[in-house]
Structure 1
Amino acid sequence: MLRKTLKFHPIAWGLIIGTFLSRAGFFMSIPFLGIYLHEVMGFSTAMTGTILSISFFVSTFTSFIGGAWSDKVGRFPVMIISMYLWGIVFVGFTVASEVWHYFVLNALSGFCRSIFEPSARALLVDVTPQEKRVDVFNMRYFAINVGGAIGPLIGLSLGASKTALPFLVSALLYFLYGSLIFVWKYKYSSINISKEIIEKVTLFNSLKIISKDKVFRFFLIGNIFVTGGYAHIDTTLSQYLGSDGIEAYSVLFATNAISILVLQYPIINLMKRYSPLISLKTGSILFGIGIFGFSFSHSLPLMIIAMVIFTIGEILCFIIGDVLIGDIAPDHLRGAYFGAAGLQFIGQSAGAAIGGMLLNMFGFESGFLVFGILAILTILAYPFFERGQYLLNTKFSDNNLTLPIKNNGATKSL
């Protein structure tokens, strides 16, 4: 049965393997960028946080055009160009020397990611029959997390945070992936592009949805706070631990990825019994507890426990959040709802900047204060999720309807 299930198109397997390579390359360098900028380049924590935030900011507002370009120009050209450009960006990190260099490079990194990812997902759907799409996206998510577990450990062995070598290795992996896609373009030029998933997702349509759907609006606001909390694993935490804690940071990053692999399915199966918004409220609290736990830098075991708690919050908020969108979105607007949900990641941009400013303001010796404030900001998502749940329950009780909670598990988050 397993062998039959995993009979995917060669391109699908290529995308899964390429996802592992690209994510391993990404995680062996980018998570350590904050330490590199502060300790090697000498930038302040506030400036470093701002530089790190620009990638999230650009990615948020360019995510709407990636899918549109791939529909108009073609999957392969968009993926090839974005992957080669991404490789050039990583080379740029090895030679950059000025603040504005890092601003531009990190902005381009966010742009490349927002252009490549929708095209890759669309191509994966194009080459996979509907009955196998859940399996293929689960394999892709598995590859992401294996890359997330291995990447930081490779980066550590290459001298991450002290040298630019990991960025060069990342660039080579991206050039390799881009070259593989180039080969596929000519070998599989007759692939039919699926039309069933093409929906016009624009910033205007997204804002229109937010203005009309109150439940979705409160969900989105809550998730802005949650994604702001998630940003600290890549930004504030790395700066706080610094080069002296680089081994601990690598272990924590690997703990996050491994915990997702181990806990995702048991937690999702458990939370199927409850409303998605209950899961989101629980997740926001666990996120906050995990973030505060990062302040215990004197004890790696305590920080590992904090990371596991943080990861459970991540699973509840991000995976269950996608389930909620699928439940409340009208079928003909599902693409637009998921596109609008991308606006939540402006929280990552704000979170990265705020974390850097707090470290700059209070200093590295005030970890309890810094991460305490960040934890409170994350838990502020709770009242918005609570309000969204009230409105959702009121909507269905007024219409004598049963709240439609679908048992989709993690499939819609991939």
Structure 2
Amino acid sequence: MNGIWQKLRTMAHFHPVAWGVIIGTFLSRTGFFMTIPFLGIYLGKGKGIDPATVGAILAASFLVGTLCSFVGGALSDRLGRYPVMIASMAAWSLTLLGFAYANETWQFFLMSSLNGLCRSIFEPTARALLADVTPPERRTDAFQARYFAINIGGAIGPLLGLKLGAGSTSSLVPFYISAAIFAFYAIALVVLMLLFRQGLQEKSKATPMQEMVRVVFSDKVFLYFLLGNVFLAGAYSHLDTTLSQYIGHDRIEAYSFLFIINTLSVVILQYPLAKLMKRYSSLTSLKAGCLLFGLGLFGFGVFENLVLLAFSMVVFTAGEILSFVIGDVLIGEIAPSHLRGTYYGASGFAFIGQSASAWFGGILLHSLGFGQGPLIFAILMLLTFIAYPFFHRGQQLWELRLGQSRTNQASCSIELTKS
């Protein structure tokens, strides 16, 4: 309880804009999880689309996100965080309305692509803004609070969606409500912009786009982190795609229950895991997250008992906490302040793992069948483990860079003393 109280006291000193991002994250993720996690079920059961095509539709979101996330982050460095966030959130609201009125397969491909576009532009910009207004010593707490908000929304959203008929063709209310929530958040961002724009680092027009690309993709530590994150992002994508089809096709209540377990696990595990991993480097945390992610995925395919599935979700969620909270903090450590949005945007290239994994998971279900859960999820586990050597190499380079930095600082101190 002492630790939790200290966390609450720390959070009380967040910048008002940081609170706006955190509370807005809760609202938007509640709306997001009311509809998108059920989209695979909606398309399969409600619209009669086969699993491979459903996987491709869901993959389109991740693919477009991969192609556009760097542009969104870079634009936020050049044009300012608020204009990019407001425009993408307003467009996201209209996209959710589009899902409600779509009937043809190509229309779902279009809406899924727009969903990925809006998400990939908004998310890195919001994370960059949160890092902008938060001192380095409090960033871990701020990103933990944001991640907590994501998961509370991830618990409430599916329950509301289920009550409102998400996953069937009988009710379009979840899409309407989600669109309204996103529109409200866009308006709230306009208010925040008017109240708190002064004093924030909003633009970095001096750095050409080509130079941004060169700086980011010549950073070897970041590149190894990004390559490893491709496989972790792919592992996480199965929660909304492969798992939703595998369990949701005949046990939709069990699928919703697992989302609740996911949120409870975040509430219970986030603080002790964060405290534990402060003893280790960020990339060590990512390596541990990689192993837990894979083991949790394997459990989803092996177990049918609800208790054991819940245990698998706890393991999966532990990997999720270590991978994504620490990953956001690591980018803040690596990135120069004037290119922070660009780095967060470039991290969106990990969506290529989500795109490929969502499609690949659908193909496995279609070709091997729903009765081959252990084999399907064993394959997915092994793909997740590929992230480990990339993080290990990145850790070696990061420690070398830190060592060189300390040596240079010591040399400068000696020179100053002599002078």
Name the TM tier (shorter chain).
0.7 to 0.9
2:369 alignment counterpart: 363
Q: Are 1:271 and 2:277 matched, yes or no? A: yes
Deviates most, 19-28 or 9-18 = 9-18
Residue aligned with 1:230, SS: helix
1:342 alignment counterpart: 348
1:411 alignment counterpart: none
Residues 284 and 80 from structure 1, CA distance in 2 versus in 1: closer, same or farther, beyond 3 angstroms? closer
Unaligned runs of at least 5 residues, structure 1: 403-414
Cα deviation, residue 30, structure 1: 0.3
Aligned counterpart for 2:92 among listed residues 67, 86, 90: 86
Q: Are 1:244 and 2:241 matched, yes or no? A: no
Contact map agreement 1:226 1:381 (CA 8 A) in 2: yes
2:173 alignment counterpart: 165
Unaligned runs of at least 5 residues, structure 2: 1-5, 408-419
Counterparts of 1:114-263 in structure 2 under 5 Å? 114-121=120-127, 137-163=143-169, 164-183=172-191, 188=194, 191-192=197-198, 194-195=200-201, 198=204, 205-206=212-213, 209-210=216-217, 212-263=218-269
1:412 alignment counterpart: none
Residue aligned with 2:284, SS: helix
Residues 94 and 306 from structure 1, CA distance in 2 versus in 1: closer, same or farther, beyond 3 angstroms? same
CA distance in 2, matches of 1:313, 1:55: 23
Residue aligned with 1:161, SS: coil
CA distance in 2, matches of 1:34, 1:204: 40
Cα deviation, residue 207, structure 1: 6.1
Deviates most, 124-133 or 46-55 = 124-133
Residues 384 and 175 from structure 1, CA distance in 2 versus in 1: closer, same or farther, beyond 3 angstroms? closer
CA distance in 2, matches of 1:249, 1:203: 45
Contact map agreement 2:204 2:338 (CA 8 A) in 1: no
Greater percentage in helix: 2
CA distance in 2, matches of 1:379, 1:7: 39
Residues 70 and 141 from structure 1, CA distance in 2 versus in 1: closer, same or farther, beyond 3 angstroms? same
Aligned counterpart for 1:33 among listed residues 39, 57, 80: 39
CA distance in 2, matches of 1:346, 1:8: 33
Q: TM-score, normalised to structure 2's length?
A: 0.82
CA distance in 1, matches of 2:41, 2:368: 18
Deviations 1:80-99 (A, max 9, x none): 33222212111111111111
Deviations 1:366-410 (A, max 9, x none): 11111111111111222333344455567778x6979xxxxxxxx
Cα deviation, residue 266, structure 1: 1.1
CA distance in 2, matches of 1:328, 1:11: 23
The alignment's C-alpha RMSD in Å is 3.4
Residues 326 and 169 from structure 1, CA distance in 2 versus in 1: closer, same or farther, beyond 3 angstroms? closer
Aligned residues with identical type, % of pairs: 55
CA distance in 1, matches of 2:132, 2:392: 38
CA distance in 1, matches of 2:110, 2:211: 26
Residues 306 and 133 from structure 1, CA distance in 2 versus in 1: closer, same or farther, beyond 3 angstroms? closer
2:25 alignment counterpart: 19
Cα deviation, residue 142, structure 1: 2.8
Residues 349 and 153 from structure 1, CA distance in 2 versus in 1: closer, same or farther, beyond 3 angstroms? same
Q: Tell me which amino acid in the other structure corresponds to 1:269.
A: K
Cα deviation, residue 152, structure 1: 0.9
CA distance in 2, matches of 1:320, 1:125: 13
CA distance in 2, matches of 1:347, 1:282: 19
Residue aligned with 1:224, SS: helix
Cα deviation, residue 109, structure 1: 1.1
Q: Tell me which amino acid in the other structure corresponds to 2:313.
A: M
Cα deviation, residue 249, structure 1: 0.9
CA distance in 2, matches of 1:120, 1:333: 14
2:289 alignment counterpart: 283
Q: TM-score, normalised to structure 1's length?
A: 0.83
CA distance in 2, matches of 1:127, 1:174: 23
Contact map agreement 2:77 2:338 (CA 8 A) in 1: no
Counterparts of 1:106-117 in structure 2 under 5 Å? 106-117=112-123
Residues 137 and 371 from structure 1, CA distance in 2 versus in 1: closer, same or farther, beyond 3 angstroms? closer
Residue aligned with 1:302, SS: helix
Contact map agreement 2:20 2:192 (CA 8 A) in 1: no
2:413 alignment counterpart: none
Deviates most, 142-151 or 304-313 = 142-151
